């Protein structure tokens, strides 16, 4: 209740301010306080002031417009719907009629608690199936308790794919006759579509019109191409360049591009969907992103990300050189002028004799890397959330280095490939298989596999990545790489691969290493456009 003071001659009394039928309003309080000149006193009706919010069905809200919640169906006052949405959860079925007993006999796994309860079957098979479903739905967060980050990612993505296995599959079709620009446009159109969050975990099927390849190998090829394009640019002209790059910078210091056209096209949200979708289906990670950008992306605060900033994160070389001047002990007049001009351009404190140069260095670098890319990072975060991968980053921060690794950590080495190959002379021979290695002399097999070993040992990291993509469809290492030496159908018989089965077939007609290397390099150049075999 509101009171106002009245009286004079040293005696003041509190008089109740009358209210309308619906309570106080602004007009009454302005009149009672003489437009704020007089003091009003609040006297609570309770002995202790109750600060608990009223329930949504309280009588005080009865005259407000009511709307139903689309999630739980509860009728809520329109003005309070936003507050209700923060804590709203879909209704869950109560499982009070079923109790799981710790009993070795499967037939006693369920106990009826009501006389009218219907049991969907009396066989032990039905009971075991019901018990399995109960246990599987009772442990949705095993990934939170996983010992290692790799296991956590595997379990989390497995849960996502399991939840989307009954949804309509996502189908991506590319045309083999299109050029690079046409294929890139198809990828951009697919990932710019705003699918539901659950839809990104649905089965992902890909096909290339005009190419005979089908199966998981095509999916691997497309996911690998998506991440590669995301790192090095799409063949798409947005008005300023023939190649549109979403990220730029040095190795392990990539930052979002400060392009207004890319930002207005919502392409960074598309980039977040690409990264999350690739992670869900076990594809290659997005490597080389700046550590400061990763922290700003996940934690959303510049204070944490500032500690990992470095001059290499600043892409603009002029700005990098100007900011780096603050690390010098003595500044010339020209240096001071350059720093002052940059400070005024970015509305930051101007350099003076009393300025803390280290603090100003951090402020300028933070604005150059994170401040100007704030909207790009927000879009990237939005895209990641839309794929459903965001809870993994928040609840298991130890998985972040695996989802956004350093370039050195994903570099493919000759040793890793050689150790994964299942060499043909170690396989068990099968005389009933007319296409097996026993049709090729052992000496020829040794010479051909020796050529491959030499090529792998001498190849660069980029060539090894292309070899792995030609072999299995993407650059994600697998446990075993199968190798076969087959009978040649002529000198024009090139090596072929079955990406779905991780199998590489090499014809046995090679006599020199130079001829073998020339054919292998020709195969690697076809990685971006086609396949060897189905």
Per-residue pLDDT of the chain (534 residues; tens, 9 = 90+): 778 877 766 667 788 888 776 677 888 888 888 877 788 877 765 556 566 777 777 777 777 778 777 777 788 787 777 777 767 766 554 443 433 333 433 333 333 334 343 333 333 344 334 433 433 333 457 888 888 999 999 999 999 898 888 888 888 888 877 888 888 888 988 998 877 777 888 999 888 877 767 778 888 888 988 999 998 888 877 766 678 889 999 988 999 999 888 888 899 999 999 999 999 999 899 999 999 999 999 887 766 667 788 999 999 999 999 999 998 888 889 989 999 999 999 888 888 888 888 889 999 999 999 999 999 999 999 999 999 999 999 889 999 999 999 988 888 888 888 888 888 864 444 444 444 444 788 888 889 999 999 999 999 988 998 898 888 888 887 778 899 898 888 888 888 888 888 889 999 888 899 999 999 998 888 777 665 443
Q: Which of 411, 393, 362, 504 lies closest to 144 in space, CA to CA?
A: 393
> Does the residue 227 lie in any domain?
yes
CA-closest candidate to residue 267, choices 187, 175, 368, 197: 187
The token pair at 62 is: 């009865």
Strands 503-507 and 496-498 turn out to be antiparallel
| DSSP H or E segment with residue 383 | helix 374-387
Instruction: Give me the residues paired with residue 255 across strands.
Output: 248
Classify residue 258 by burial, with Cβ atoms within 10 Å: 0-12, 13-18, 19+: middle
- Residue 63 belongs to a domain: no
User: What are the distances in angstroms from CA 414 to CA 202, 417, 418, 458?
Assistant: 35, 5, 6, 8
Tell me the Ramachandran region of residue 347: left when phi exceeds 0, alpha when psi lies from -120 to 50, beta otherwise. Answer: left
pLDDT value at residue 34: 80
Rounded Cα distance, 156 and 142, in Å? 8
Q: Are 112 and 100 in contact (CB under 8 A)?
A: no
- Given this model, what pLDDT does residue 107 score? 37
**Residue span of the structural domain in which 33 resides:** 2-42
Q: Which of 206, 314, 500, 523 is catalytic?
A: 500
Identify which of 383, 393, 417, 451 has the alpha carbon closest to the alpha carbon of residue 152: 393
Number of domains within the chain: 4
User: In this structure, is residue 202 part of a structural domain?
Assistant: yes
321 and 266 both lie in a single domain: no
One domain, residues 341 and 440: no
Nearest to 507 by CA among 515, 517, 496, 522: 496
Looking up tokens 């790059």 gives 245
- 368 lies in the same domain as 277: no
- 400 and 260 in one domain? yes
CATH number at residue 521: 3.30.2410.10
User: What is the token pair recorded at 517?
Assistant: 């290397």
Give 360's contacts (C-beta < 8 A, 6+ positions apart).
Answer: 326, 339, 343, 348, 349, 351
Residue 118 lies in a domain: no
135 within some domain: no
Report the distance separating Cα 454 and Cα 483, nearest Å. Answer: 15
- Give the angle subtended at the CA of 119 by the CAs of 114 and 122, to the nearest 5°: 130
- DSSP conformation letters of 280-327: HTT------B-HHHHHHHHH--HHHHHTT--GGG---HHHHHHHHGGG
Q: Using an 8 Å Cβ cutoff, are 298 and 400 in contact? A: yes
Other C-beta atoms closer than 10 Å to the C-beta of 298 total: 19
Q: Beta partners for 171?
A: 205
> Do the beta carbons of residue 242 and residue 494 sit within 8 Å?
no
Shared domain check, 397 and 364: no
Q: At what angle do helices 357-366 and 333-345 cross, to 10 degrees?
A: 50
Q: What is residue 455's predicted lDDT score, i.e. its pLDDT? A: 92
Residue 138 lies in a domain: no
Whether 388 contacts 262, CB under 8 Å: no
Residues 355 and 454 in one domain: no
Q: What whole-number distance in Å separates Cα of residue 97 and Cα of residue 113?
A: 6
Cα separation of 411 and 262, whole Å?
Answer: 29
CATH label of the domain that carries residue 176: 3.90.1750.10
186 and 272 in a single domain? The answer is yes
Question: Considering the domain boundaries, does residue 460 fall inside one?
Answer: yes
The overall pTM is greater than 0.85: no
Q: Is 395 in the active site?
A: no
pLDDT at 477: 78
pLDDT at 90: 61
Concatenated DSSP letters for 444-495? HHHHHHHHHHHHHHH--HHHHHHHHHHHHSSSS--S-EEEEEE--SSTT---
359-382 exposure pattern, b = at least 16 Cβ within 10 A, e = fewer: ebbbbbbbbbbbebbeebbbbbbe
Among 249, 381, 375, which residue's Cα sits nearest to residue 319?
249
Same domain, 457 and 518: yes
Helices and strands (DSSP H and E) totals, the chain = 20, 13
23: which DSSP letter? B
Domain stops at, among 365, 389, 408: 408
pLDDT at residue 428, rounded to an integer: 46
Residues 394 and 451 grouped into a single domain:
no
Distances (CA, A) of 87 to 83, 381, 417: 7, 22, 50
**Separation between Cα atoms, residue 370 and residue 264, nearest integer Å:** 18
Is the domain of 181 the same as that of 273?
A: yes
Is 511 in the same domain as 425?
A: yes
Residues 6+ apart with CB under 8 A from 18: 28
509 and 417 fall within a common domain:
yes
Return the axis-axis angle of helices 216-232 and 461-472, rounded to nearest 10°: 150
Q: Does any domain span residue 20? A: yes
């Amino acid at each position: 209740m509101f009171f106002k003071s009245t009286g004079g001659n040293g005696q003041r009394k509190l008089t109740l301010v009358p209210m309308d039928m619906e309570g106080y309003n602004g007009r009454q309080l302005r009149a009672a306080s003489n437009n704020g000149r007089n003091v009003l006193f609040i006297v609570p009706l309770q002995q202790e002031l109750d600060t608990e919010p009223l329930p949504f069905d309280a009588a005080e809200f009865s005259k407000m417009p009511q709307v139903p919640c689309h999630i739980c169906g509860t009728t809520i006052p329109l003005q309070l719907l936003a507050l209700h949405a923060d804590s709203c959860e879909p209704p869950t079925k109560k499982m009070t009629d079923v109790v799981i007993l710790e009993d070795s006999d499967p037939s006693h796994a369920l106990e009826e608690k009501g006389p009218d309860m219907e049991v969907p079957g009396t066989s032990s098979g039905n009971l075991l199936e019901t018990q399995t479903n109960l246990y599987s739905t009772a442990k949705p967060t095993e990934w939170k308790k996983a010992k290692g980050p790799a296991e956590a990612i595997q379990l989390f993505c497995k849960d996502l794919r399991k939840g989307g296995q009954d949804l309509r599959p996502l189908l991506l079709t590319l045309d083999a006759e299109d050029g690079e620009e046409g294929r890139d446009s198809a990828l951009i159109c697919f990932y710019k579509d705003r699918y539901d969050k659950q839809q990104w975990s649905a089965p992902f099927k890909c096909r290339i019109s005009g190419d005979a390849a089908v199966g998981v190998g095509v999916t691997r090829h497309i996911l690998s191409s998506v991440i590669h394009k995301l790192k090095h640019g799409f063949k798409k002209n947005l008005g300023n360049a023939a190649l549109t790059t979403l990220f730029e910078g040095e190795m392990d210091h990539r930052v979002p591009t400060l392009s207004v056209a890319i930002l207005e096209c919502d392409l960074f949200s598309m980039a977040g969907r690409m990264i999350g979708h690739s992670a869900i289906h076990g594809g290659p990670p997005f490597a080389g992103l700046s550590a400061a950008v990763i922290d700003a992306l996940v934690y959303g605060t510049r204070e944490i990300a500032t500690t990992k900033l470095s001059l290499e994160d600043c892409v603009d070389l002029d700005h990098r050189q100007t900011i780096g001047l603050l690390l010098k002990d003595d500044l010339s007049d020209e240096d001071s002028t350059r720093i002052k001009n940059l400070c005024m351009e970015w509305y930051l404190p101007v350099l003076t004799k009393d300025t803390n140069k280290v603090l100003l260095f951090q402020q300028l670098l933070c604005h150059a890397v994170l401040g100007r890319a704030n909207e790009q990072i927000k879009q990237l975060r939005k895209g990641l959330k839309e794929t459903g991968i965001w809870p993994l980053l928040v609840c298991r921060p130890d998985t972040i280095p695996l989802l956004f690794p350093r370039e050195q950590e994903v570099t493919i080495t000759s040793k890793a490939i050689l150790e994964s190959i299942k060499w043909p002379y170690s396989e068990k021979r099968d005389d009933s298989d007319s296409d097996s290695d026993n049709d090729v002399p052992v000496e020829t097999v040794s010479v051909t596999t020796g050529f491959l070993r030499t090529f792998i040992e001498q190849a660069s990291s980029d060539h090894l990545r292309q070899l792995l993509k030609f072999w299995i469809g993407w650059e994600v290492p697998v446990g075993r790489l199968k190798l076969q030496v087959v009978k040649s159908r002529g000198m024009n018989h090139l090596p072929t691969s079955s990406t779905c089965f991780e199998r590489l077939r090499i014809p046995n007609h090679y006599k020199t290493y130079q001829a073998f290397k020339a054919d292998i390099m020709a195969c690697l150049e076809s990685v971006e456009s086609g396949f060897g075999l189905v």
